[in-house]
Amino acid sequence: MRFDIFFSISQTPDTSGYTPSESEMFAGFFDQVELADELGFGVGWVAQAHLSTEVQKRNNEPVVPHFPGEVGLCTDFFQVAQTMFARTERMEVGSAVMSILGSGGPIAQAERVGAFLALHGLDPSESRRLHVGFSAGRFEFMARPYGIVPRDVVEEAAWPALRGQIFAEASEIFLRLLNGEVISSDMIRPTVLTRANFRSDEDWGRVQLAAVECRGLDVAPDEVPIDPRYSFEEIKTIPQEWRRELLNLVLGSHDPKLQAEVNKLRPVQVFNLSITPPHIIEQTHDRFREHYHPDGGPWERSMMPRTIMVFVNDEEGLTPGEQDAAAMEEAKAALSTYWSALEGTIDPAKVERATDNAVIGNVERVGEQILERFHPDDRLMCWFDFFNHDSERVKRNMTAFMTKVAPRVNGGA
């Protein structure tokens, strides 16, 4: 089993109510990055966020109205990645995940990838890859200032489904530019909405009605064409001669159709969450065995990183039973803080379900839980800093995991 690490850099009150300064957040993060490299984690994945979560609460339609502080401080993945590479020797670096709708959109993001790798790959002995996880972005407010908003009443009625289609359009642009192609918007997939894009007849009916009223139609249409979100003449990004073997792409979407579509363009792997039901996990692996782009080689389970929250307690002076109890208390405190921040309330049922999907306990129990729940060939993206700003404790947990849990899982002592 392979072990990566996930860094949230989330500047929000932890379970004790403490919120570090921005400089404290970054100092703790880079300390953890250096230790993760020493411990042998494979990829250091960094959450990317944009714009102040705190300020968006003043918006007319705040996306996360109760979230205190900032959901994340990594607003420029490429600058953070460059520093991570400079301060480590073995670990690779990834974004989990970078929105290609914000920050200028897919064209700007493709150009940034090429620029980064043109510099990163100057040393011919460099073999560490940049893993670019990309998505539409979890929080919609981060893309709104870049024009990702409904442009008329039809788009407003269709918005929840249409936003996914905008991401599909952006994904094609992003991937074809990374391939080094010359493209124009005329060459990109058209967006045509049908009943299949919507969850219910009622949702689709609202779009049909809006199309009749807005476009002067006599009858409800079976198809509703949508103008391109990105309109441009022929373009090609520069630099052009960067080492594409140093790039690995990972899609942050559960849309089965999109997972297959992007792999018609180039190899694109996929993220998944520990809370995803096992049958969905296996269906995803089956789909990628069929559709993964041949240039990426045969599909392997390790190509789908799976997020897992780790609440391990290996603190001195406690018996194994006391470590188990303390770890569960720490997990429930962190998860309660999370649900309170996300929804403004603490739902005991959601906390209980979340603890069922985390790994919790002393090193032996955590190892047992991983062996019970995961395939030996899986890649786990371990999350240690979840609502925990005690960097020294986070580092002890990382160390306990890689020196005591990982060997147990992979057949060692």
Structural contact between residues 205 and 141, judged by C-beta atoms closer than 8 angstroms: no
Beta-sheet pairing, 191-193 with 224-226: antiparallel
pLDDT score for 276: 83
Structural contact between residues 113 and 231, judged by C-beta atoms closer than 8 angstroms: no
Identify the CA nearest to 144 among candidates 154, 152, 136: 136
Identify the CA nearest to 100 among candidates 199, 166, 34, 9: 166
- Is the Cα torsion angle 405, 407, 409, 411 positive or negative in sign? negative
Amino acid at the residue 68:
P
pLDDT score for 51: 95
Structural contact between residues 370 and 380, judged by C-beta atoms closer than 8 angstroms: yes
Structure tokens, 113: 């990838």
Q: 63 to each of 156, 164, 334, how far by Cα in Å?
A: 17, 17, 21
Mean pLDDT of the chain: 95
Predicted confidence band of residue 354 (pLDDT cuts 50, 70, 90)? low
Structure tokens, 75: 């607003």
Share of the chain above pLDDT 70, in %: 98
Structural contact between residues 287 and 256, judged by C-beta atoms closer than 8 angstroms: yes
Predicted confidence band of residue 116 (pLDDT cuts 50, 70, 90)? very high
- Residue 295, burial from CB neighbour count under 10 angstroms (0-12, 13-18, 19+): exposed
133-191 confidence digits (pLDDT tens): 999 998 899 999 999 999 999 999 999 999 999 999 999 999 999 999 999 999 999 99
Predicted confidence band of residue 289 (pLDDT cuts 50, 70, 90)? very high
Alpha-carbon torsion, ordered 399, 404, 408, 413, to 10 deg? 140
Amino acid at the residue 78:
F
Predicted confidence band of residue 312 (pLDDT cuts 50, 70, 90)? very high
Is 346's pLDDT higher than 80?
no
SS3 43: strand
User: Residue 328, CB half-sphere, CA atoms under 13 Å: how many?
Assistant: 8
Q: 278 or 92: whose pLDDT is higher?
A: 92
Share of the chain above pLDDT 90, in %: 89
Structural contact between residues 155 and 229, judged by C-beta atoms closer than 8 angstroms: no
Cis omega (within 30 of 0) on the bond before 63? Answer: no
Neighbours of 264 (CB within 10 A): 11
